[in-house]
A and B are shown apart, each in its own frame.
Chain A
Amino acid sequence: MVKDRYVARNVFVVDGSRTPFLKARGKPGPFRASDLAVSAARPLLTRQTFAATELDEVIVGCIAPGPDEANIARIIALRLGCGDKVPAWTVQRNCASGLQAIDSAALDIASGRADLVLAGGTESMSHHPILLNQAMVAWLADWNRAKSVAAKSRQLAALRPQHLQLVIALLRGLTDPLAGLTMGQTAEKLAWRFQIDRAAMDHFAVRSHQKLAEAIDAGRLDEIEPIYSNNGDLFETDDGLRRDSSVEKLANLKPAFDRPVGKVTAGNSAQITDGAAMLLLASEEAVEKHNLPVLGQVIDSQWSALDPTQMGLGPVHAMGSLLQRQQMDGEAIDYWEINEAFAAQVLACQTAWQDQDYMQQEVGLEQPLSAIPEEHLNVDGGAISIGHPVGASGARLVLHLLKTLQQRGATRGMASLCIGGGQGGAMLLEVAK
């Protein structure tokens, strides 16, 4: 039961922008998730030939909007001046939320329900909340109910130190609640299964930084719009980049998850980051009507699921199934983007991809695929150097892959992410030659 490509109508990506990705530095950064999306999309919409009010809908991926950002997509749409009449909805598929937004936009355009959609992702991980635990919430409710002095003092006496233990939402979000493993531990599991050593991971991380540095110096990240905080601080580039990164330096880092002997460190994992990426998708009719430029075309996408404790292999499943449906082999793809959640996880994908048993038994392909050449994978760096604002990364990958295809005169690209909870998402894109 292989599904066909988007049948009804062609879906074009017209244009896109993203914010610089800003490393979370312990305390809340200067931008909320909606601020980031507005900062990315405002210049994007301003440079179009049509008005923001002419959009058919706005779809935004975000894992944890702030308490004042329920259905953050609608808040973003209204703040962008789309007016009362443009509907907006928020999507959540963990680390692939941004990709989900683009997929949802593409489906609405393909089906004929929409012609012009603003879609993307945003995340302010530095703003993820810190919560009171359930016992404390219950205690507070009883405190409010206690009226007399006697009742109040009884209640006060019932307060225990564990009541004051806070719940850090960011850490909980990065932990699989069913499997009881943190995301980093799932990466450790893959490293163990596929025998990936620390040096290979650190080498991969260093390359990520080197590639990003080259891309910045060569001006290949022109999708970044400068953003300003309210007190006038200017942010123009991804600030997680370490130009001085080296295998020797990374070797000094302590394991972050399986202490004291694990291999996955903060240095070979994606950075916790704030950022947003927004794209404009259009039907052929809208492209003609508004005389829009075309960056590329969304051809197909695929969502697959697997064992949550090995979620890092999600891309192998999604990309494998997508190629199978399209009756393509790996050689048909010019450039690849696989989100760098962990160096171990991307390296594990490479190994599994070429493994006959894995591809046959777990993905359902008859033949394994050939290795993805390093110079065609994540050519301008990835989440290890750029950062991984979880809701935004999928949209960044799609946008930058299209830019890469265009810049290098290539045709076809594949963007993919692993997804906490045991899923993988992949999208096939094309640029007209």
Chain B
Amino acid sequence: MSKHWHLETDQHGISWLHFDHADSPVNILSQQAFAELAECLDELEALQPKGLIFISDKSSGFIAGADVNSFRSGMRQREAEEHIHGVHELFARIESLDFPTLALIHGFCLGGGLELALSCNIRIAQDDPSTRLAFPEVRLGIFPGYGGTVRSIRRIGALPAMQMMLSGRGVSARQAKKMGLVDQIAPQRQIKALASQLIRKAPKARRQTVLNRLANSLPGRMIAAPYLRRETAKHANKDHYPAPFALIDHWQKHGGDAGAMYRSEASEVSRLLIGSTAQNLIRVFFLQERLKSLGGKQDFHPRHVHVVGGGIMGGDIAAWCALKGMQVTLQDREAKFLTRAISRAHGLFSRKLRKPRLVNAAMDRLMPDPKGYGIAKADVAIEAIFEDIQAKQQLFKQLESEMRPDALLATNTSSIPLETISEVLNDPARLIGLHFFNPVAKMQLVEVVHGQQTSADLIHKGAAFVRCIDRLPLPVKSSPGFLVNRILMPYLLEAIKLIDEGVPAPAIDQAAVEFGMPMGPVELADAVGLDICLAVAEKLAPLFDLEIPNQLKQQVAAQHLGKKSGQGFYAYEKGRIRKEKVNSSYTPPEDLTDRMIFRLLNESVACLREGVIEDEDLLDAGVIFGTGFAPFRGGPMHTIHSGGLDTQRHQLELLEKRHGNQFHPDDGWAKLRGV
């Protein structure tokens, strides 16, 4: 008797194999699920039904992919290779069954799930916005290994298949139909009827276009592969992210030979899997899952969010909440201060939702509210006005008196302590911080800030709200700069100090990007706005003994505020950066990267010691999702540990000797334990 699969045969002699993975909200291809599937195939080969339909009983979707947990550290390459060979054999058995097979797809159909579906003769998908088919493997540092590289190319042609596998991007049911990844689509009400019909009379096989057939030929691959490499290199550094490049090599070498492809899949994917990039990315995947789970500690289902402050931050928070289905009221002192927020929101909705009907509905959910009618009805209020203690106190006093007693009161402040703002409240325990990052629509992290006065369950409530708008909550203590800005600031200041010392900005940025940062620190400072950087630095400097580099003060004094003013450390033309190439004869200081990164690592250790954040994993998660810190390195704490605790500390001491006490190892180093 199977735990995860249930086989039933209908009156027409068609077998329906229901996948319903026990003890899991989603279907995953665990070892046990594979083993049971093999037994089901034994049974089916004996039964010889007229057809076989794979169907998921989970409301969330078809199959979410392989069991990523089993790929975590400790697996040897041999084991991984054997596992892959096993799955290859299993899927080959499905492919060679002598009755028709069909995969009925709804919701997500990812990675191994899609590879299973591709082993069937026919695929159909539910025509619904929630349907998503993808090969997300590259995001975990590997590429499809369950025959996906062979079968996807066979089904939809080499170029579309390679693009899907290289980007990891998902396609909707309609796109999947268009590219031939599925044969037919139907709404939920017709999908089973369609399955019954097609299993009895198979749809005509789709013929590959000439171009696609040419692309998979040897000359085609010789031409296409270098092009794909160039395109991929624009987004990913080969040293940091080897998987997409390995996939291109794999296809170029073996694309014409299915047997060789399967063998190469097994050896290449298992090699990548045990590498540090894949292991770190898998760890980041689980860190993300942990942040998500933080939202589940309190049953809180807000419907209406009231945002005060129609500036970029407030407006973008309001728009994001409306995009994610909230009823939103957006308040500012006068109607005219909301115009930009409304047009920006419309831009966001148009980009994300596309269909006018959906854009319209989102606009309807976002109400400009200069008179504050929404306050009394809101479940959550977020303050995002200018950084002025009295203005904020006055506002929160009003909010507290007008809002429902169970409503959540939050501030997006990054520089005023919660304890100070909440002084004026009847119940200071009500105030939490919800610190969003700019740009709101891109930055997944939201710091959920608790002051000393904040009641504990409100942190969970705040985290639950953050999940409701599909962001990642990170609980942090109310201390200057919280976690992300605090850790980022020494790194930025060190970078600008290097400019003081005569290192060209592009060289500094290049070093950081080579380390794996999404953007160099100087460019980042320009993007944030140098005035804002200076203001934050001045706030934090006396507290953490920071030195503010002259260049920063001078730029701000000269009104060179960065991207927004058209001139900062770089010049901007119509918002586009003009970056000069570093002179090839120039040799940057040898410890350029270390100087920036070690400031960041040292500050991370300080934050841990002070309890700004609960543990090392959360710190890594926060810094990765809040700053884009090289995910393939697994976060600052993970970087420290993989470099060796003592070695890293020693490195820091050397920097201190050379460059001064900003590199003095924090006391927290002594408390760290090696892993």
Contacts and interface: CB of A to CB of B under 8 A. Distances in A.
A42 B364 CA distance: 9
Contact of A226 (B335, B363, B373, B376): B335
A245 B340 CA distance: 34
Interface in B150-179: none
Nearest to B360: A79
A3 interface: no
B260 to A, nearest CB: 54
A265 B371 CA distance: 40
Interface stretch (A106-114, A231-239, A333-341, A382-390): A231-239
A163 B110 CA distance: 55
Contacts of B341: 232
A129 interface: no
Nearest to B370: A226
Interface in A76-94: 79-81
Contact of B342 (A38, A43, A232): A232
Indicate the member of A42, A79, A80, A232 with the most B CB atoms within 10 Å.
A232
B377 A234 contact: no
Contacts of B346: 230-232
A47 B376 CA distance: 8
A234 B335 contact: yes
A232 B335 contact: no
Contact of A46 (B336, B360, B377): B377
Nearest to B349: A230
B311 to A, nearest CB: 14
Interface in B523-548: none
A230 B338 CA distance: 12
Interface in A364-413: none
A46 B339 contact: no
Interface residues of A, number: 18
A228 interface: yes
B314 interface: no
B642 interface: no
Contact of B339 (A43, A47, A234): A234
A46 B369 contact: yes
A43 B369 contact: yes
B371 A228 contact: no
Given A43-B373, A46-B373, A232-B340, A226 B329 contact: no
Interface in A30-60: 38, 42-43, 46-47, 49, 51
B367 interface: yes
B367 A42 contact: yes
Nearest to A234: B339
A222 B339 CA distance: 20
B369 A230 contact: no
A44 to B, nearest CB: 9
A79 B364 CA distance: 6
Interface in A188-234: 226, 228, 230-234
A46 B329 contact: yes
Contacts of A79: 360-361, 364
B368 interface: yes
Contacts of A46: 329, 367, 369, 373-374, 377
A79 B365 CA distance: 8
B343 interface: yes
A304 B289 CA distance: 69
Given A46-B329, A79-B364, A81-B327, A233 B339 contact: yes
Interface string B356-399: 00001101110111110110110000000000000000000000
B234 to A, nearest CB: 32
Contact of A230 (B329, B343, B370, B371): B343
Contacts of A236: 335
A47 B340 CA distance: 24
A51 B338 CA distance: 25
A144 B374 CA distance: 53
A54 to B, nearest CB: 13
A31 to B, nearest CB: 12
Contacts of B338: 228, 234
Contacts of B371: 43, 47
A83 to B, nearest CB: 12
A231 B343 contact: yes
A38 B329 CA distance: 14
A47 B339 CA distance: 21
A230 B363 contact: yes
Interface in B15-35: none
A86 to B, nearest CB: 15
A236 B370 CA distance: 12
A233 B338 CA distance: 10
A47 to B, nearest CB: 4
Contacts of A49: 376
Interface of A: 38, 42-43, 46-47, 49, 51, 79-81, 226, 228, 230-234, 236
Q: Lowest 4 A-B CB distances belong to which pairs?
A: A232-B343, A47-B373, A226-B335, A232-B339
29 contacts: A38-B364, A42-B367, A43-B371, A43-B373, A46-B373, A46-B377, A47-B371, A47-B373, A51-B377, A79-B360, A79-B361, A79-B364, A80-B364, A81-B364, A81-B365, A226-B370, A228-B338, A228-B339, A230-B363, A231-B343, A231-B346, A232-B339, A232-B340, A232-B341, A232-B342, A232-B344, A232-B346, A234-B335, A236-B335
Interface of B: 327, 329, 335-336, 338-344, 346, 360-361, 363-365, 367-371, 373-374, 376-377
Given A42-B367, A81-B364, A231-B343, 15 more contacts: A43-B371, A46-B329, A46-B369, A47-B373, A226-B370, A228-B338, A228-B339, A230-B342, A230-B343, A231-B346, A232-B340, A233-B339, A234-B335, A234-B336, A234-B338
